[in-house]
Each structure stands twice: as C-alpha cells, then as structure tokens.
Amino acid sequence: MKHFLRGGAMSLVVALLAGCARLGGQRPAEQPLKIGLVAPITGSIATFGKSTRQGAALVFDRVNDQGGLLGRRIQVIVEDDAGKPEEAANVFTKLVNRDRVAAIVGSVATKCSFAGAPVCQRGGVPMITPASTNPKVTEIGDYIFRVCFVDPFQGEVIARFLVDNLGLKRVGIIYDLTNDYSAGLADYVEDNVEKLGGEVVSRQTFSEQDKSFKAQLTAMQARRPQAIFVSAYYTEAALVARQARQLGIAATLMGPDGWDSPMLVESGGDAVEGGYFSDHYSADSPNPRTQEFVAAYRERYGESPDALAALGYDAAGLLVDAIRRAGSAEGAAIRDVLAATTEYDGATGAISMDAERNARKPAVILQVKDGKFVLVETIAP
Ligand code: PHE
C-alpha cells in the first residue's frame, strides 16, 4: 500500500541524485513533503479507489520526476478506507496526527469524507475531496474543498434529462437509506422532477449490503414508472438492474455518478444496457487538456480513465499547484490559495472555487451502449 510511486525506492534514489546534482554537491535538501491520499482501495466501491489513486499518481510522480515541490520530494501516503466511515475516521486521524501530512486528497464516498473532514478541519490540514458530491461535505469547514460539482446540481441534471429530454414523467426512485449521498440525491431528483411537471410515483429504500431488491421493485412496478432512478453505487445498481429485468420491468434506468465503474457492465450485463447516468467528464471530450490527460493515463495504465481517475488527477494537480502558488506547505497558507482558485485548467474542465469551496462545473450524461459509456450530452451549471 505504501509503494505508491512507480518504481518505489528507485524513484527516491533518482530524485535524491537529481537533487544533489542541482545543489552542486551541497547537502541534499529537506524532509519529503508528505501528502495523504484516502480512497476505497478495497470493498464494494474498490474501482473508485483504484482509479483515484492511479489518476493522482500520474501527477505526483510527474512532479517528483521533475525535481519535486518547493525543492522537496513528495511522499504520498496512501490509506484505504474501504468505503467505510469508521475506517475513514481512523486513517484520516493517522494521517493528520501521526504522519503530519501537509494536505489530504480524499476521500471518495461522501460518507467517508463526512468522517474525515472534521479531523482535517481540527488539525488545520487542507482536504480536497476529488469526488464527494454531497453539499454538506465542504460545509464542515474552511479547510475542506472539492473539485467536483455538488448533488443539488446533479439532481437537477438527472431530472431535466428524464423529464425534458426523454419525456419520461412517471419516475420511480430507489435509494440506500444508510448512505447520505444516495439519500440526498433521491431528494434532489424528486424535487426537480416535480418542479418540471413530472411525478415521483414510488420511492423505495434499501440498506447497504442488501442483495435482494425484488420486494421494492415489485411495489414500484405496481405504480408503472416509465423511468427508475437508481441512486446507488455500481455494485447495488447492477443488482437492482438485473432484478428489475428479471421481474419484467422495462422502464428506462438512470443513475448518478456512482454508476461509473467497469463493474457496472461486468455485473449488470444486458440489464444495464441502454441505461443512462450523469457523470463528471467523458474521455471523449475534445478539450485538449482532457485529451492530454487521457493519453498520458492510457500510456501508463493501458486503460481508459474513468471520472474517478480524472478527478483524482485534478485534485492532486490543484493541490500541487496551490502549494507552489503558496510557496509554503503550511496548512493555512495552502487553504488561502485554494480558496482563491480561479479557472484552474483541469482534465475535467476549468475549476473555480466558489465561496463554499465547491467547484462549479458542467456535468455529462453517458449512456451504456454495447457495454461502453457513450457521451450523450454536456450540461452547464
Ligand atoms: N459522488 C459520489 C459520492 O459522493 C462519489 C463518486 C464520484 C462516485 C464520482 C463515482 C464517480 O459518494
């Protein structure tokens, strides 16, 4: 877990040698600059962690290859929260109190960021969540930032697409009531569907770890929804989709960003084919900055980057940029510079921080077609 950097010890040696050469044989510089990265490396949302880490590594390794940050080598300490808030509280506490990192990129799941943000805020350690979209995350304090859009916007995008674009007015919603992200989005989608003249004909719930959704889907089907919003991460979403099709439910399926995983198609198969979800970016975007990232990612990992990879890359890139602009690895200095971010040129688009430390950015709608995620539409905030 600790061997985050490509080549591990080797790149350390190279960095030190490079440092010596630059300093003309003087005493090689200071301690490494420690940055924490918290993500779900294991568990039911593990593809999120893998992508986030790979995206961030692209940035941190490049900086080290080019001589480091403020003359220091970046040492990334990767911690796995497994998508569980209790784990997140532990690893954030370790990073802040024991490792004394300068800043943290993470976490991914909203409920893990809820657990970690108070630790960062108390410790005066800036935190940038790449992907947690629930608005309450950044409300925790002035050290907490994000590079993604927020769920009130995502909920509006989903409702507009279903009701206005597809003309599907009778909407069913199923969500995980143990998950703040999932439950929050259920509300935002419902409010917006109704605002647009549609009707939420059924609202069904489940709990994390549930494997059968047939009772809820049967009850929902009695209300004849034309579309079902499955407010869940990919593991549950694939199960819901499969069971819906087994019950003969033909409604259009739609999800949020949490559907973005190769596992959605691997587990969901034909049941998710034709479904839609909202997301943060498309690898097919013509934006040159996006294409530069996509090429570098493909070359290193041999696969196409999903939204988590792009957001991990942007969170890491923005952090490095902020530390450079601040000229300091001190928490308050980094925080002030992050808060003043305007038009940072990210792989997921231009990032500007608003007064609530949220990024205002467009969303995309993707469709599952022949098992691939195809860009349907880009929606500006
Ligand atoms: N937005 C999700 C959350 O807050 C995390 C996520 C982001 C998942 C992007 C997939 C893609 O929990």
* pLDDT per residue rounded down to tens, the chain (381 residues): 444 444 444 444 444 444 444 444 444 557 999 999 999 999 999 999 999 999 999 999 999 999 999 999 999 999 999 999 999 999 999 999 999 999 999 999 999 999 999 999 999 999 999 999 999 999 999 999 999 999 999 999 999 999 999 999 999 999 999 999 999 999 999 999 999 999 999 999 999 989 999 999 999 999 999 999 999 999 999 999 999 999 999 999 999 999 999 999 999 999 999 999 999 999 999 999 999 999 999 999 999 999 999 999 999 999 999 999 999 999 999 999 999 999 999 999 999 999 999 999 999 999 999 999 999 999 998
Give the Å distance between the CA of 151 and the centre of ligand 1.
10
Answer whether 308 contacts ligand 1 (Cβ < 6 A): yes
The strand pair at 33-39 and 74-80 is best described as parallel
Q: Decide: 260 in ligand 1 pocket, CB within 6 A.
A: yes
Residue among 313, 333, 376 nearest 148 (CA): 313
Cβ 200 under 6 angstroms from ligand 1: no
- Quote the pLDDT of residue 348: 96
Buried b (16+ CB within 10 A) or exposed e, 151-183: bbbbbbbbbbbbbeeeebbbbbbbbbeebbbbb
Determine if the peptide bond prior to 304 is cis (ω within 30°).
no
**Position in ligand 1 atom list of the atom nearest CA 134:** 4
Cβ of residue 131 lying under 6 Å from some atom of ligand 1: yes
Q: Which atom of ligand 1 lies nearest, measured to the CA of 129? A: 4
257 lines ligand 1 (CB under 6 A): yes
CB of 253 shorter than 6 A to ligand 1:
no
Q: Decide: 309 in ligand 1 pocket, CB within 6 A.
A: no
- In the reported structure, the alpha carbon of residue 131 is separated from the centroid of ligand 1 by a whole-number distance in angstroms of 5
Å from CA of 109 to ligand 1 middle:
6
185 CB under 6 A from ligand 1? no
Q: Would you say the CB of residue 305 lies under 6 angstroms from ligand 1?
A: no
Asked whether 110 lines ligand 1 (CB < 6 A), one says yes
Output the pLDDT for position 122: 98
Atom of ligand 1 nearest to the CA of 259: 10
Q: Which atom belonging to ligand 1 lies closest to the Cα atom of 151? A: 1
From the alpha carbon of 137, which atom of ligand 1 is closest?
Answer: 4
Ligand 1 proximity of 363 Cβ (cutoff 6 Å): no
Contact 237, 264 (CB under 8 A): yes
Among all chains, which residue has been given the structure tokens 């979800």?
277
Q: Indicate whether residue 258 lines ligand 1 (CB < 6 A).
A: yes
Predicted TM-score (pTM) above 0.85: yes
Contact in structure between 189 and 231 (CB atoms under 8 Å):
yes
- Closest residue by Cα to atom 4, ligand 1, is 132
Tokens of 277: 């979800």
- With beta carbons less than 8 A apart as the criterion, state whether 348 and 315 touch: no
By most ligand atoms within 8 Å of CB, the mutation choice from 113, 257, 281, 311 for ligand 1 is 257
Query: CA 364 to CA 380: how far, in whole Å?
Result: 9
